[in-house]
Amino acid sequence: MTVDYGSLYIGGAWTRPSSEQRIEAYSAATEELLGSVPAGGPADIDAAVAAARRAFDDPNGWATWEPARRAAVLERFAAELVTRSAEMVRRVSAQNGMPIRFGKPVEGTVPVTMLRYYAELIQQLPTSEVRRSLVVGNTEVRREPLGVVGAIVPWNFPQTLAFFKIAPALAAGCTVVMKPSSETVLDAMLIAEAAAAAELPAGVLNIVPGSGRTAGAHLVAHPGVDKIAFTGSTDAGRAIAETCGRLLKPVTLELGGKSAALILDDADLSAVIPNLFAASLMNQGQSCYICTRILAPRSRYGEVVDALSDMVRALRIGDPLDRSTVIGPVASAGQREIIEGYIAKGKAEGGRITVGGGRPAGFDRGWFVEPTVFADVDNNSTVAREEIFGPVLAVIPFDDDADAVRQANDSPYGLGGTVWTSDVERGAALARRVQTGSIGVNGYTMDHGAPFGGVKDSGLGRELGPEGLAAYQQYKSIYLP
Ligand code: NAD
């Protein structure tokens, strides 16, 4: 049985779409049709922006409410998401192949955590303070909501990444038009159902799926939108930044990555290797921050390659909805084609595959790719430089700590990273020298209370923490006598 929606959630109501076009969602594991939603086009984006604009500009509306009043609505919204959490996780995993054992603690939990965290924070942080002027009198410094936000989200963690934007934006008093990725539209409609059930005021949150780039590009360029929050590929981010630059529109960009795991010469491999899975292959490598370049000391190179290959060989591939699965299919046929292209290129450039490299036996349906390890790879090779967004790791040798840092930094990207060592101080000292937005010592667990984002081609601005709330506020100074 498929799940099919006939309308879009715009202006607090289920609204007839402007066209008959539809987006179909398919199972990554079986390639079967799961359901469909209307494909929002420019006219639907216009309607959603108009609704968000009305809600924001209302002189007694959302933006003007006391933080506690907005927080109460966000709490209700969180409660409605909780009741839909199991179905949410199931829809995400069925569409994008995320093993449900990871989907549950991430996609089923983080959105609720985000809403509650920002509901609390907006009540704690002063939105206005009076300072003694440096010249004469006093100045009231206000943090005001930025306005109507266009939020554009990818398919790899569609719920988590949506709420990295929706939660702080709504808490700050902004209103939102969210455009999910066309690969993950069914879970996005559950957000709309939860928002409707929680009785968010009309227009405060609008959800418009669109196929291809048209709807997103229309949202970015829309004169009624005051800020863009984007997560996705570096290429799309660059195009969006160009438009926002021309329009002088604030933009947050969370883009691609090719992060490095620095395994130091004193690391205890029996402790490192099991934990390296989450930092390097989680969600079939379809995670922006993960470490797909494994930097190993030349003196222990063979040992690292063998231990890593053994770990990867033992990973259980299967149906993402089965709790014992740790590697599911990748999200689409197109994504698998890209990954297989990179594997072929890695081989052609002289990389040695120690495990994987093809499609797993026994999976005739579904977009499965074997987790793959390349040894004898140089940091300049294609598989070490470009984001593959699949389960492919490259193991690269280094001479000493300075060389490890140099190679880690020799990348167009700077999003995540890890250092593995038996001396945490030494690891932290090295972590400080890596050009990146976030990095873990002996593991990588994203802290939602701390800013997250990238340097270089990995993006602009930060999400999460108080900094992630500030991204939806602007300062105003009122000079008082
Ligand atoms: P994508 O860039 O193809 O699409 C992302 C979203 O942007 C989709 O909703 C898409 O429809 C929309 N879009 C694409 N081009 C657009 C344009 N020109 N104007 C407006 N909207 C546009 O990315 P994807 O394949 O869905 O996701 C994978 C990418 O996302 C990877 O590069 C990954 O590293 C990145 N990512 C980054 C982070 C982070 O926090 N830095 C997190 C997750 C994913």
pLDDT tens, position by position, 337-367: 999 999 999 999 999 999 999 999 999 999 9
Q: What does the pLDDT average to over 437-457?
A: 97
- pLDDT digit string (tens) for 234-247? 999 999 999 999 99
pLDDT above 90: residue 134: no
pLDDT surpasses 90 at 132: no
pLDDT in tens, 175-214: 999 999 999 999 999 999 999 999 999 999 999 999 889 9
So what's the pLDDT on residue 478? 96
User: pLDDT tens, 77-124?
Assistant: 999 999 999 999 999 999 999 999 999 999 999 999 999 999 999 999
State the pLDDT confidence band at 327, using cuts at 50, 70 and 90.
very high
pLDDT the model gives residue 136: 85
Q: What is the separation of C-alpha 189 from the centre of its chain, rounded to a whole number of angstroms?
A: 18
CB of 312 closer than 8 Å to CB of 355: yes
Residue holding tokens 């008082």?
480
- For the chain, give every domain's residue range: 3-255+458-480, 260-441
Examine the pLDDT at 401 and tell me if it is beyond 90. Answer: yes
Exposure string for 224-258, b = 16+ CB within 10 A, e = fewer = bbbbbbbbbebebbebbbeebeeeebbbbbbbbbb
How high is the pLDDT of residue 131? 86
Asked if 360 and 370 count as a contact pair (C-beta separation under 8 A), the reply is: yes
- What's the mean pLDDT when you consider all of the chain? 97
- Assign a CATH topology to domain 260-441: Aldehyde Dehydrogenase; Chain A, domain 2 (3.40.309)
Rounded percentage of the chain residues whose pLDDT exceeds 90:
98
Radius of gyration of the chain (CA): 23
What's the average model confidence in pLDDT over 250-270? 98
The fold for domain 3-255+458-480 equals Aldehyde Dehydrogenase; Chain A, domain 1 (3.40.605)
Round to whole Å and give the CA distance between 442 and 268: 10
Which of 23, 233, 242, 338 has the most ligand 1 atoms within 8 A of CB, as the residue to mutate? 233
Percent of the chain with pLDDT over 70: 100
- Amino acid 178: pLDDT: 98
- Ligand 1 binding site (Cβ under 6 Å of any ligand atom): 152-156, 161, 179, 181, 213, 216-217, 220, 231-233, 236, 239-240, 254-257, 288, 387, 389, 415, 454, 458-459
Between the CA of 211 and the centroid of ligand 1 the distance, in Å, is: 13
